[in-house]
């Protein structure tokens, strides 16, 4: 009887000890690179709803915030990267003016992913379309394929990048939906910075999320819906 008791005690001691050793590292070094052990999954689909009626012409806060967050230069020369831009529209027949931000639309059927020869351009399980800079060879085919001109090519060597946002010469880049923020439970810098609540970010698959409720009740469109790409970014008021 005592033999079995000792063995069981030893077993419990060892297994609890082993479990503690396994779990302990997860509690250390937490502040540096925020961990997300379970990864992205397709139950979630991140998207944005843009209310163009509230978007003010001349306001560039979303662009400035994106540039600051991601380490972009903010320049607007033909070779400068722009992940988000403000577009001023004027209806040719009626004269009505609209202002809106345009960025990667994070399509469900992204043409950029279809054409990328190395799978550098890919769609993560939760719907975010990204460029894997480890694989990008800089062929720019995705830039030709994108219907929204969302992508930029890095034309010169970069220095002092944001440690959370790696970007480098010779690769193609675009809006990441601030994936480094989303993975910590945050939201994109542009959505946070907009003073007029134009950009609403959320989970399209969550029926109770604010964005899903709005999409159910109010009219919205996808840009270039004729291409059947099913983008995750929708627009109201165009």
Partner 1 sequence: MKRLASLLLCLCVAPVWAGDSAGTPKLDIGRGGQCVEDTQWMRKNHMHMLKHQRDEALRKGIRDEKISLKNCIECHASTKDDSVIAREDSFCVGCHKYEAVKLDCFECHSGKRKSAWLQQRNAK
Partner 2 sequence: MSYTSPNQLRSPLYNLLLATGLLIVAGSLLAVHEMESQGHIITGMNNQIVWGLPHVFAIFLIVAASGVLNVSSIGSVFNKPAYKARGPLAGLLSIAMLGGGLMVLMLDLGRPDRVIVAATNYNPTSVFAWNVLLYSGMFAAVVLYLWTMMEKRMYPWSKPAGLLVFVWRFVLTTGTGLIFAFLGARQAYGSAILPPMFIILSFAWGLAVFHIVQSSIFAWNGIRPDEYVQKRMRNLMGVFVVSGLYFVVTYHLTNFYFSRQSAFEYFILRDGGIYPQLFWWGYIVIGNLLPLLLIFHPALGKSKSVIGASLAIILGGFAFLYVFIIGGQAFPLDIFHGYAVSSTFGDGEIAPYRPSVYEALLGFGGLGVAFMITAIGIHVLNFVPREIPTKVGHH
Query: Binding of partner 2 at residue 159 (CB under 8 A)?
Result: no
Query: Binding of partner 1 at residue 58 (CB under 8 A)?
Result: no
Binding partner at 34 among partner 1, partner 2, none, C-beta below 5 to 8 Å by kind: partner 1
The contact pattern for partner 2, residues 66-105, with x = CB under 8 A and - = no contact, is ----------xxxxxxx--xxxxxxxxx----x---x---
The separation between CA 4 and the C-alpha centre of its own chain, rounded to angstroms, equals 56
Task: Pick from 130, 154, 211, 212 the residue near partner 2 by CB under 8 A.
Answer: 154
Residue 36 and residue 24: Cα distance in Å, rounded? 16
Burial class from Cβ neighbours inside 10 Å (0-12, 13-18, 19+) for residue 172 reads buried
- For partner 2, the binding residues in 105-134 under the rule CB under 8 A are 111, 113-119
Residue 100 and residue 49: Cα distance in Å, rounded? 11
**The one segment of 47-55, 58-66, 98-106, 122-130 that binds partner 1 by CB under 8 A:** 122-130
Residue 155 and residue 148: Cα distance in Å, rounded? 20
**The one segment of 145-153, 158-166, 206-214, 224-232 that binds partner 1 by CB under 8 A:** 158-166
Query: Binding of partner 2 at residue 147 (CB under 8 A)?
Result: yes
Burial class from Cβ neighbours inside 10 Å (0-12, 13-18, 19+) for residue 35 reads exposed
Q: Closer CB to partner 1, residue 1 or residue 22?
A: 22
106 strand-pairing partners:
none
């Amino acid at each position: 009887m005592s033999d079995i008791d000792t063995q069981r005690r030893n077993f419990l001691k060892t297994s609890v000890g082993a479990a503690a050793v396994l779990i302990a590292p997860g509690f250390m070094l937490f502040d540096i690179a925020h961990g997300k052990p379970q990864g992205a999954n397709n139950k979630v689909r991140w998207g944005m709803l843009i209310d163009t009626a509230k978007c003010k012409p001349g306001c560039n806060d979303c662009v400035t915030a994106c540039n600051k967050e991601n380490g972009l230069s903010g320049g607007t020369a033909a070779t400068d990267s722009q992940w988000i831009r403000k577009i001023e529209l004027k209806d040719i027949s009626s004269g009505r003016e609209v202002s809106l931000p345009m960025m990667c639309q994070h399509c469900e059927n992204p043409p950029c992913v279809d054409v990328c020869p190395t799978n550098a351009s890919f769609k993560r399980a939760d719907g975010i379309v990204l460029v894997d800079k480890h694989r990008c060879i800089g062929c720019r085919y995705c830039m030709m394929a994108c219907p929204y001109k969302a992508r930029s090519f890095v034309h010169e060597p970069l220095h002092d990048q944001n440690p959370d946002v790696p970007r480098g010469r010779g690769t193609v880049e675009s809006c990441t939906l601030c994936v480094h923020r989303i993975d910590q439970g945050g939201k994109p810098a542009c959505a946070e910075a907009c003073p007029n609540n134009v950009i609403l970010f959320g989970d399209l698959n969550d029926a109770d999320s604010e964005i899903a409720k709005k999409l159910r009740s109010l009219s919205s469109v996808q840009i270039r819906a004729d291409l059947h790409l099913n983008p995750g970014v929708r627009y109201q008021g165009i």
